[in-house]
Amino acid sequence: MNSLTTLLILLMAILVVFWEAVFNPIRSWLGAQVELLPALMVYTALRHSLTAVALLAVVGGLCFDSLSANPLGISVLPLFLVGLLLLLKRDLILHQQPFAQMVLGFAASAVAPVLTLLILLTGGTTPLLGWGSLWQLLVVAAGGALAAPVFFELFGWFDRTLVYGPAHQTTFRPDREIRRGRL
């Protein structure tokens, strides 16, 4: 795991939560705010280690709840479970394909809020729910589907720009060196 990339992922999580809290046009337009943390979790789970997944779930979840009326810590577990599931199955997932990334973003963005709501309802809290919540879930999932390939592209660019690439083996072999004499 590259610690710089993990740091960038956590920074992105903070920026994403801030954007969700201050950017209102989507909510005014479609009646729901998109959640981008599950899409970021899809990228992290498919490309990084378990530690990065856990860190993103904790930092992202706590930041999200600190700006929300959610009980603090309620979003951590759903995010982590989504990440863990993807991490365990990542060898079977075609994560290079943008379409597959979109499908994963859609699924993760639909599952994470549902899990959060289940925990909220289990804890006796009554959030604002109704038939309209299904539309909101669809908007959230569609937002996640669009965001997932963007995160893959963005962090791919970060990796190419900021992280040292693997050292390639050179064709030079010292045992094949031709030693020339004076003449």
Kindly tell me which residue out of 132, 157, 162, 163 binds other proteins, with binding defined by CB under 8 A: 132
- Which range binds other proteins by CB under 8 A, 28-36, 96-104, 150-158, 172-180? 28-36
Residue 7 touches other proteins, criterion: CB under 8 A:
no
Kindly tell me which residue out of 6, 8, 68, 103 binds other proteins, with binding defined by CB under 8 A: 68
CB of 143 to other proteins, least distance (A): 11
Let me know how long the chain is: 183
Smaller CB distance to other proteins: residue 24 or 97?
A: 24
DSSP 97-164: SHHHHHHHHHHHHHHHHHHHHHHHHHTT-----STHHHHHHHHHHHHHHHHHHHHHHHHHHHHHHHSP
How many other β-carbons are positioned within 10 Å of the β-carbon of residue 8? 17
Smaller CB distance to other proteins: residue 129 or 163?
A: 129
CB of 139 to other proteins, least distance (A): 8
- Which range binds other proteins by CB under 8 A, 102-110, 121-129, 145-153, 159-167? 121-129
Residue 44 touches other proteins, criterion: CB under 8 A:
no
Residue 97 touches other proteins, criterion: CB under 8 A:
no
**How close are the terminal C-alpha atoms of the chain, in Å?**
53
DSSP 33-90: ----HHHHHHHHHHHS-HHHHHHHHHHHHHHHHHTSSSPTTTTHHHHHHHHHHHHHTG
31: phi > 0 → left, psi -120 to 50 → alpha, else beta; which?
A: left
Residue 21 touches other proteins, criterion: CB under 8 A:
yes
- Interface size with other proteins, residues (CB under 8 A): 55
Both tokens of residue 120? Answer: 């909220």
Kindly tell me which residue out of 64, 151, 152, 155 binds other proteins, with binding defined by CB under 8 A: 64
Surface-to-core class of residue 83, CB atoms within 10 Å of its CB (0-12 exposed, 13-18 middle, 19+ buried): buried
Residues in touch with other proteins (CB under 8 A): 14-15, 17-18, 20-22, 24, 27-28, 31-33, 35, 50-51, 53-54, 57-58, 62-74, 76-77, 80, 84, 87-88, 113, 116-117, 120, 123, 126-133, 135-136, 140
